[in-house]
Amino acid sequence: MGDRATMAIDRVIHRRPSWAALWLFGCACLLAFLPGHAQDDGKPFAEAHVLLQVSDADPVKQAAVIDIANNLMKHYGGPDTVDIEILAFGPGIALYRSDNPLRERLESLLPSGVRLVVCKNTLDTLERTTGTVPPLIDGLIYVQTGVARIVERVRQGFVLVKP
């Protein structure tokens, strides 16, 4: 092994980290605990990080979620300055059905970087109880547990909005 590798191993064994390693560790800790800091790779420089929850099949509320997403992008000056995620679970997954009349409006959000997230537990329950899963639109992000996604995103600094 080269001298650098030997020195690095020696530091780890003898617990003598370099100043650079200590500085990087300190920065990482600071960023992880800053309030309101959303840890998301999608839009790290966004002014706001918003999670829109859809948990019922009411078409009025579903349309409101789409309106809110569009209004947020206008308010913050465009899609690059606001990070939006729409999470559907339970009866709310009706929003993502391919036969939903709001489909075109919903899909128009995708080029702006709005993430459409669906709960796999809800889909599994539907399949178990009805024997089938409804056809869904393309471009969805699947997470195992929708409510756990809410908890994670709120911890990361996202603001939860439930119309």
pLDDT tens track for 124-138:
999 999 999 999 999
- Assess whether pLDDT exceeds 90 at residue 63: yes
Q: Are residues 28 and 53 in the same domain?
A: no
- Assess whether pLDDT exceeds 60 at residue 35: no
- When divided into structural domains, the chain yields a total of 2
Residue 119 belongs to domain with CATH number: 3.40.1260.10
pLDDT tens track for 64-111:
999 999 999 999 998 999 999 999 999 999 999 999 999 999 999 999
Instruction: Provide the domain limits for residue 16.
Output: 3-33
pTM: 0.75
Mean pLDDT estimate for the chain: 83
Q: Are residues 126 and 70 in the same domain?
A: yes
Which DSSP category does 158 fall into?
A: P
Domain contains 38: no
- Assess whether pLDDT exceeds 80 at residue 26: no
Domain contains 39: no
Q: Are residues 18 and 58 in the same domain?
A: no
140's torsion region: left (phi>0), alpha (psi -120 to 50) or beta?
beta
The count of other CB atoms within 10 Å of the CB of residue 59 is 13
